[in-house]
Every structure is written in C-alpha cells, then in structure tokens.
C-alpha cells in the first residue's frame, strides 16, 4: 500500500519508495475505489514508466472506466503493453452485479500462467451469465454512457451534502470518500448512520484509511436518492455536533 496525493490520486513518489526487490506488480485502480479519483493520461504513463524501469507488472483495474464526470477522459495503459494486465467487469459497466462476468487483457507471454490460475479458481461465469453479457453488448452498447449520465443527478445531490466534509470532489466511479465528522472513529460513525439514520456507508478502515467514510451514489433512483441524501445530511450534522464522548450508544462492532 502506498499513500495517495492530496487529491486522492496515486502518488508516484510514494509508490516508487514502496517498491522493493520482492515487488512483482503495481495494482492501479482507475477510476479509484474508494476515492473516485481519476488518474489522467500523464499520471498513468508516469506509473507505466515506473513499472517498466523497476521490471514489474502494472495491473490496471478499470472496472469503473465508464463512470466519468466533468468531461474527464479515461486512459488505459498502453506504453509498455508487454508489462500490462488490464482488468474489466460487466458488473459495473452494464450493471450486471451478481452475474460474475468480466474479462482481462494480457500479453501472450502470460497465456500459460493465466491457464494455471484459471485451473485453480473454484468458480467461473456460468453459461447463462455469459449469454446475458453477450446480449448486453450486442443490444445496448450505449448503456454505460447512458447509465453514467443518469448517475450525475445522484452525484450532485450527494455532493451537496458531503461537500463540507470532503477534501476533494473526485470525478470518477460512483463514490465520495470523506473524513468522518466530529472526530468520530469510522466504525462508530458507520454504526450511528445505520442505526439512527438508516444510511449505509463503508468505513475507511476496510480500505486501509481509518477515520474516513465511503459513500456510494449508485443503485438508487433519483427520487429515492433525494430521500437518502436528506437522511445522510441529518446524520452527518449529528456527528459534527455531538462529540464522541457524548454519544449515548458507545457500543463498538466486534
């Protein structure tokens, strides 16, 4: 794990300092999860060159490639194709979560190794899942762009609520990553939001970032999202006004 820069993007200096003789690959999630940050072409190429010079693989996880805002463009690594593995998923791009369909792109020299990995994977995409994914590609190739456009209203609604708690308005995926208000532990904040305000968020500790909360604006129709945003706003206001030592339910998750 390497620290990000102030905009929650990968920091090449931090990454370079983290590489050791035992390092085999760098995993880049772009757009990012949980941050929603987008690494622009210049940054991606810098990371590609870093991996090339260090003699390690760049594994580019591009699950959120279609979820971009503010005219931001996605860039897929291509400088050194013989050192890059690209990962994609239909779960995000075509909202096929649960059908377990994705695909990867890799250089031919990895074919034998990939087959070895495939032999050890206990589950695979069933025929039905593959048929559904194929049909989605054939019938509605514009779905990802349309879906992302629809999410913009949700994004704007949630940003209105979290702006004062966020360090940056990221431009990808469907998440905002904010500091838990009022000095709360992220697990306590998550519990309070769930129990008192019926809002589910993910604690930052799950991503190696304690003290933060990941908030998703996907999966809900806009009218429902407005209700959820109002609940979230009330919950965050509570956390910012009631100090942790005064919070009446001091239970912690085991």
Give the CA count within 13 Å in the CB-facing half-sphere of 233: 12
Strand partners, 172: 68
Answer yes or no: are the C-beta atoms of 164 and 179 closer than 8 Å.
Answer: no
Query: Which residue from 60, 56, 4 is spatially nearest to 29, judged by alpha carbons?
Result: 60
What is the count of structural domains for the chain? 2
| Domain hosting residue 43, numbered range | 12-139
Phi, psi torsion values for 128, nearest 5 degrees:
-60, -45
| Residue 37, CA distances (Å) to 41, 70, 73, 170 in order | 13, 12, 12, 5
Q: How confident is the model at residue 249 (pLDDT cuts 50, 70, 90)?
A: very low
**Residue 158 and residue 133 share a domain:** no
- Using the 3D structure, point to which of 107, 139, 171 is the last residue of a domain: 139
Answer yes or no: are the C-beta atoms of 200 and 163 closer than 8 Å.
Answer: no
Portion of the chain with pLDDT greater than 90, in percent: 74
CATH of the domain at 148: 3.90.1150.10
**Residue 124 and residue 207 share a domain:** no
CA distance 61 to 58: 10
**Residue 150 and residue 134 share a domain:** no
**Residue 227 and residue 122 share a domain:** no
**Residue 114 and residue 150 share a domain:** no
pLDDT for position 145:
86
Average pLDDT over residues 169-179: 96
Q: Is 124 exposed, middle or buried (0-12, 13-18, 19+ CB in 10 A)?
A: exposed
Instruction: State pLDDT tens for residues 217-247.
Output: 998 999 999 999 999 999 999 999 988 877 6
| Start-to-end CA span in the chain (Å) | 25
- For residue 23, the surrounding DSSP H or E stretch is none
CATH of the domain at 62: 3.40.640.10
**Residue 169 and residue 100 share a domain:** no
Model pTM score: 0.88
**Two tokens at 224?**
């429902």
Instruction: State pLDDT tens for residues 53-77.
Output: 999 999 999 999 999 999 999 999 9
**Residue 239 and residue 152 share a domain:** yes
Instruction: Tell me if residue 175 falls in helix, strand or coil.
Output: strand
**Two tokens at 93?**
């791009």
Is the bond preceding residue 218 a cis peptide, omega within 30 degrees? no
CA distance 230 to 54: 48
**Residue 131 and residue 165 share a domain:** no
- For residue 26, the surrounding DSSP H or E stretch is strand 25-29
Average pLDDT over residues 120-137: 88
Classify residue 193: in a domain, yes or no. yes
Answer yes or no: are the C-beta atoms of 147 and 202 closer than 8 Å.
Answer: no
pLDDT for position 138:
84
Instruction: State pLDDT tens for residues 3-52.
Output: 888 889 999 999 999 999 999 999 999 999 999 999 999 999 999 999 99
Q: Please, which residues have CB within 8 angstroms of residue 247's CB and are 6 or more apart in sequence?
A: 184, 188, 192
pLDDT for position 156:
96
**Two tokens at 235?**
């919950």
Instruction: Give the angle 118-120-123 at the CA atoms, nearest 5°.
Output: 75
Query: Which residue from 58, 9, 21 is spatially nearest to 171, judged by alpha carbons?
Result: 9
**Residue 113 and residue 99 share a domain:** yes
**Residue 185 and residue 68 share a domain:** no
Q: How confident is the model at residue 140 (pLDDT cuts 50, 70, 90)?
A: low
**Two tokens at 126?**
């069933």
């Amino acid at each position: 794990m390497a620290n990000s820069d102030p905009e929650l993007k990968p920091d090449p200096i931090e990454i370079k300092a983290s590489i050791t003789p035992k390092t085999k690959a760098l995993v880049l999630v772009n757009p990012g999860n949980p941050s929603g940050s987008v690494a622009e072409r210049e940054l991606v190429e810098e990371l590609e060159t870093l991996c090339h010079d260090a003699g390690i693989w760049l594994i580019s996880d591009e699950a959120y490639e279609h979820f971009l805002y503010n005219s931001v463009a996605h860039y897929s690594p291509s400088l050194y194709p013989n050192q890059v593995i690209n990962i994609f998923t239909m779960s995000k791009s075509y909202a096929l979560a649960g059908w377990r369909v994705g695909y990867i792109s890799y250089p031919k020299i990895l074919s034998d190794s990939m087959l070895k990995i495939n032999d050890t994977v206990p589950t695979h995409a069933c025929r039905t899942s593959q048929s559904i994914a194929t049909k989605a590609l054939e019938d509605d190739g514009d779905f990802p762009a349309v879906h992302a456009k629809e999410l913009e209203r949700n994004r704007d609604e949630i940003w209105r609520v979290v702006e004062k708690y966020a360090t940056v308005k990221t431009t990808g995926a469907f998440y905002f990553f904010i500091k838990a208000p009022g000095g709360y532990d992220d697990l306590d904040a998550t519990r309070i939001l769930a129990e008192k305000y019926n809002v589910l968020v993910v604690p930052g500790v799950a991503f190696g970032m304690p003290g933060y909360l990941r908030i998703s604006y996907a999966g809900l129709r806009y009218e429902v999202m407005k209700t959820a945003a109002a609940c979230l706003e009330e919950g965050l206001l509570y956390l910012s006004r009631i100090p942790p030592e005064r919070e009446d339910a001091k239970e912690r998750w085991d």
